[in-house]
Structure 1
Amino acid sequence: MPSFYAAKGIIHQTSCVETPQQNGRVERKHQHILNVGRALLFQSKLPKTFWSYAVLQATYIINRIPSPLLHNESPYFLRFQQHPDLNELKVFGSLCYASTIQNNRTKLDTRARKVVYLRHKQGVKGSILFDLNTKNIFVSRNVTFYEHILPYKNTHSSFDWEYHSIPHDNVHNDTAPSRAHSEPIVVIDDPPSISASSNLPHSPHSTLLHDITDPPSESTSPPSEVEHNTNLRRSTRPIHKPSHLSDYVCNLLVDSVQPSSTGTPYPISHYHSYANLSVDHRKFALSLTADEEPASYNQASMHECWVQAMDVELQALAQNKTWIFVDAPPNIKPIGSRWVYKVKHKADGTIERYKARLVAKGYNQVEGIDFFETFSPVAKITTVRTLIALAAINSWHLHQLD
């Protein structure tokens, strides 16, 4: 590579050790890929041994989804000038059934293998799968997907397997412990019974289990010394905050730990008044609350700013043709209306505008007279995601309306 750089006139520079900020763009993309890869592992509940497949699948997904930084285009489209085929995108860690090869089966053998989908194989028209029975990883073309089923989602079985990239001698080493070895250490239901060494079976993990259940106790003071410390006399000298902190709320730690006379941890008597502020800070605090929002039309009509806000609202309603004039039915009283006033502030606290809204008194409506059915077009984001997931699984067409 140095000779190639020299021939092309490229200056090769490397970052210093432990300074990722010198290569911020690449480090940020690494963070993006790892965030997606962790999400795939958390969703599928696959062991961390599959982290490499999760990272590759995350890269495969990122390259095929639109990005706001690319004007809502995908990296795949910018590279090949055509939209990617998302039919090859499957759920990571989902259940699959791969067809067995005819040469390796008899008439009474199963025609499919229960596997887990890992990723799409680059350069081959097939998928990388993990056999749940033989614990082998292979590539197959004839696969039936069940993307709504995650085999490792609700299972707690031990995970002990090997494939070409993990040597057999290093499967059970200390650097990569299996789940079968970690479960007896983590799941402890009755700590007192474990402390009895006579009830524990003799196993190579018994020493480690004993070390976990019986940690070394920290050095503590004798009871006599504790009683002596509780009888120490506190100073009665009043504590005053510095003068330069007079405009700030300063709560002493000793005040927060002392119990109140009422027994409540946060008594209502602890409040802060404008009288404790300096003149400049008091004027600033009062200026933020000087513009009160009127509660009625009579109060708003006495200020020019609210009159202009009401004129703007009426002009907008007339321009949008919000209503039409009709004759009221006999013996029917029309539903009234009222004004709602709101002061809009900017991020720095200054006033942006005065907003007035004319709303109907919907609480006066009577079912069967003013309305027959109710409809609230409010949807949770969880419901929207569920519908989109069902549409993707069943190949439905989505239609949006407002």
Structure 2
Amino acid sequence: MTTRIVDHFDRRKRDWVAEAMRRLHADATRSADTHVFQFPLPAQWGIDLYVKDESVHPSGSLKHRMARALYTHALCTGWIDPDTHVFEASSGSTAVSEAYFAKLLGLKFTAVVPKSTSTEKQELIKSFGGEVRHPGEDGDIEKEAARLAAEHPNGHFMDQFTYAERAYDYRDDHNLAATIFRQIAEERHPEPKWIVTGAGTGGTTGTIGRYLRYTRRQTRVCVVDPENSAFFPNWVRNEGRPKHRWPKPDQWITGKPSRIEGIGRPAVEPSFLPAVIDRMISVPDAASIAAMRVLLDALRHRAGPSTGTNLWGALRIIAEMLADGEQGSVVMLMCDQGERYLSSYYNDAWVRDTLRLDPAPYRTAIDGFLSTGRWHEPGAAAVPRPSQPAGG
């Protein structure tokens, strides 16, 4: 038998991949360190709240980092070449960011988004040259994106919900967690007690949690979750079980879409890593909307509803620290630009008539806490405060 050699090397495609990676690296260098703002809290509390503003990325959201990581992973794995048509399933922000990178690399891009995705987000996808499609009657955006990619002669389904956690490099010195610690290194509490974030795919949470272990830090991870999401109830339900062995096929599925765009899922996604999470907080949707508006008043920055979810969770933790006489810092993420939600979450009539929510009691609760130090959310018992404030 003679030696057989089959060579599939294509110089054009390899050169294109090299140029594509150069463009991705250049983008990472330009936008690695987004700003960190300090949310105003009473000085006598001895507690600092920092807001890492991921909304200033070129594509306008936290998902910019993930989209770049997904393209990097797909290019280095050999799934994308200059003729590839990329497909993705997304509630909006990931699709916007992936459309941005598709344009940067000269690729065709199609996003399958829920019909409820804001008009502003759909227009942003189109502004980067992407196509917007909606799912079938079952509303399954992942199934539709996978079908379209399979039917296309050179389609690739990016599949953020599967590949987000493995695409992110938690050991890289330019990941989100690493930049946070560099940017608050000169603050009075440079190692935060908590980092608070939500979960859509779980990729950001996984990166932060892994980085904390890799760098031997004591900072803890809190994941906030909206109503109707499967992450929180499954995390509670599986407490005590080996967390690397679930989600199981028999996991509890809510069957309902999240009302807070960008976070929350009806089922636990493969990229969600429960073992790196120290705490989860289930946040009322009305509280998320109230908190996003508090942030606008406090920082003059308009952010989306998932940022409101983060702020509510961060303030809930700060209330406990205050009650325990504990000082330190908390970091939360500003996820995307609020201009994407002017016709929805910032529209009182839309919130009332479409979501049937009333944020007012939760706004009153936040304002009351910031002025008195006493936490009391609607329908729940108050978190006590010591007679002497921490540091006072």
TM range (shorter): under 0.3
Per the normalisation by structure 1, the TM-score is 0.19
Higher share of residues assigned helix: 2
Larger Rg: 1
The TM-score with structure 2 as length reference comes to 0.20
